[in-house]
Structure 1
């Protein structure tokens, strides 16, 4: 059994009762082919929560500093995370992300690039638009509503795919595409 599978079982057993997780729209995630799951980012607990609520294995970007120590590097690599240098265009991370999508896998991204200090979604970075435009991936917006207080309800909503054909036809920029994706996440936050 893979480390990812073991981690998913352990985290699910702990998190589902502790945070009373409710999942909405899981059926919107395609069962095969490349997918980008784009979520708001309110806590360090977001990646494991998306990991346990998604029916598919997710590959997340994680800040490079987390890969410096041998133990955390092995753990993160074992759960399919890969490093990204923040604050600059990291070509290696971009290449890795595109390779994951080309192989028909799932890439998990937080469009803002960092946690929101206010809990409200901020301005997205262009990177998410780059991946959406440069791949054939289905883009699924995701909204997490949670205080992450024990026994308080956490709602994870997966929305319908973002319409990418129109954006490609209009020759939308990476930033315009990122803004469109973030708008869909905000809509889910208001509706879920």
Structure 2
């Protein structure tokens, strides 16, 4: 998957940096652990999924362009303009609940050229505080590419709605060695996915606390 044109990457950064101060205030977002965010990639950012605006909240915390893996329906169900905009910003589709080889290759290309990949491993929005239970795709990509995972959590009390206080917490990077060999063993892959889940669930347990 090629990088978006320079113009679109410039638009991404311009819109994000101009709107971020207002977004933080209007959405009542508090960030913790921003010191853990690398200034540049490659790495895989993994986060639980609480609402449709999660990509925006995460992007505010990351200085570089994030390339989001997004469900295919966002590209097919909302018309060509929406699909074109998503592609222009660097998002790419994944077919959920299937072995989508093309999306896997796109993810690997993004990481190999030194960019940051963002994934919501749950595969869909979870509106309550149910424990984070990721699918194994993120751990598999980390194992195949030898890239670390940055665990991020989004927490609010109950279902998210506009005006509710939100905490975005960035944890310490999980080194690539943790996921090594998982692409060759279903057991290791399951253990790697569980380790990622445990880390993000631990962050979620902190709630709004410091």
Equivalent residue number for residue 157 of structure 1: 169
Map of 1:134-145 to 2, 5 A cutoff?
A: 134-145=144-155
Moved over 4 A (4+): 169-172
Q: Distance in 1 between matches of 2:21 and 2:178?
A: 41
1:87-131 deviations in Å (ceiling 9; x for gaps): 211111000001101111111111211111433234211101111
CA distance in 2, matches of 1:169, 1:150: 42
Separation in structure 1 between the aligned mates of residue 37 and residue 139 of structure 2, nearest angstrom:
19
1:168 matches 2:180: yes
- Taking structure 1 as reference, are residues 7 and 167 closer, same or farther at Cα in structure 2, changes over 3 Å only? same
SS of 1:112's equivalent in the other structure is: coil
CA distance in 2, matches of 1:63, 1:149: 22
Task: Give the Cα separation in 1 of the matches to 2:155 and 2:174.
Answer: 20
Compute the TM-score of the two structures, normalised by the length of structure 1.
Answer: 0.89
Superposition RMSD in Å: 2.1
Gaps of 5+ in 2: 1-6
Give unmatched runs, 5+ long, in structure 1.
Answer: none
Match of 2:136 among 99, 114, 126: 126
Structure possessing the higher relative contact order (Cα contacts under 8 Å, 6 or more residues apart): 1
Pair 1:164–1:17, CA change in 2 (3 A)? same
**Could you tell me how far 1:177 is from its partner in structure 2?**
1.2
Aligned residues between the structures = 192
Q: Which residue of 2 aligns with 1:23?
A: 31
